[in-house]
Amino acid sequence: MKTALVTGATSGFGRSIALRLARLGYNLIITGRRVERLEILTKELQDNNSIKVLPLCFDIRSNDTCTKAIQSLPADFKQIDLLINNAGLAAGASPFQDSDLADFDQMIDTNVKGLLYITKLIVPGMIQQKSGHIINLSSIACIEVYPSGNVYCATKHAVNAITKGLRIDLVKYGIKVSSVSPGMAETEFSTIRYHGNEEKAKAVYAGLTPLNAEDIADAVEFIVTRPAHVSINDIQINPSQQANTYIAHRNTI
């Protein structure tokens, strides 16, 4: 049985991806900062699947806590076959000049540095076993920059570059590196981005049908179920009503 580690499994994409991987028979390490949610998901995963589940509660922004968490893995969870680097966020949506430096720090520390910390800890095991698969949750913001997207887009451009760099450096060890780059998807993402303002969060999806977390789990399932000789580099996935980061066709209400 293979083991997958999913960061940011307490909500949105990460939760759906964990549920999907469980159905595919993976043992799971699920992570996030909200311990109650990890406990509830652990029970749900174990009740419905014959798999082993290990919840790990930590903040991905600290290399120290990431290191302690990964070092704490019991022997039967030490070999990780699939790493889903999903934990991430947008904090704020303002023109650069009006943006908050604390939001910049939070996005860079989570989306870029946190992803690097976890990946640095998991890659040595994959190199040793000469196999593995890393899937990074990127975004269409890795391709285009949109108004008031400044630093969020920068973090996803970084994820794109890191994905490509890892693919180059790890190819000789039989390690696949993929990314999923979604457009608008309704999760807790916009509520977090607007610092809890539900009205602003809802307005993001007004007049269109956004992606949902299951759509992203579908993409991950496709990537991980390809034959050994096939590596999917990236799946870009948008709502049908979103052409790119600027153009969305909204129903008139």
Residues 109 and 96: their CA atoms lie apart, in Å, by 18
Burial of residue 174, with CB atoms counted within 10 A of its CB: 0-12 exposed, 13-18 middle, 19 or more buried: middle
Residues 252 and 236: their CA atoms lie apart, in Å, by 27
92 lies in the binding site for ligand NDP (CB under 6 A): no
- Smallest CA-to-CA distance from 17 within 177, 137, 141, 140 is with 137
String marking each residue 105-124 x if it binds ligand NDP according to CB under 6 A:
-----x--------------
Residues 106 and 195: their CA atoms lie apart, in Å, by 12
Residue 82 interacts, among ligand NDP, ligand 8X3, none and using kind-specific CB cut-offs from 5 to 8 Å, with none
Q: Of 48-56, 96-104, 120-128, 139-147, which part binds ligand 8X3 (CB under 6 A)?
A: 139-147
Q: Judged by CB, which is closer to ligand NDP: 8, or 92?
A: 8
Amino acid at 82: L
Instruction: Collapse the DSSP code of 248 into the 3-class scheme (helix H, G, I; strand E, B; otherwise coil) and give the result.
Output: strand
Residue with token string 């590596």: 231
Q: Of 118-126, 167-175, 177-185, 242-250, which part binds ligand NDP (CB under 6 A)?
A: 177-185
- Smallest CA-to-CA distance from 234 within 195, 176, 148, 188 is with 176
111 lies in the binding site for ligand 8X3 (CB under 6 A): no
Among 27, 139, 150, 179, the residue binding ligand NDP under the rule CB under 6 A is: 139
Query: Is 152 a catalytic site residue?
Result: yes
3 lies in the binding site for ligand NDP (CB under 6 A): no
Binding site for ligand 8X3 (CB under 6 A): 90, 139-141, 183-184, 245
Binding site for ligand NDP (CB under 6 A): 8-14, 32-34, 59-61, 86-89, 110, 137, 139, 182, 184-185, 187-189, 192
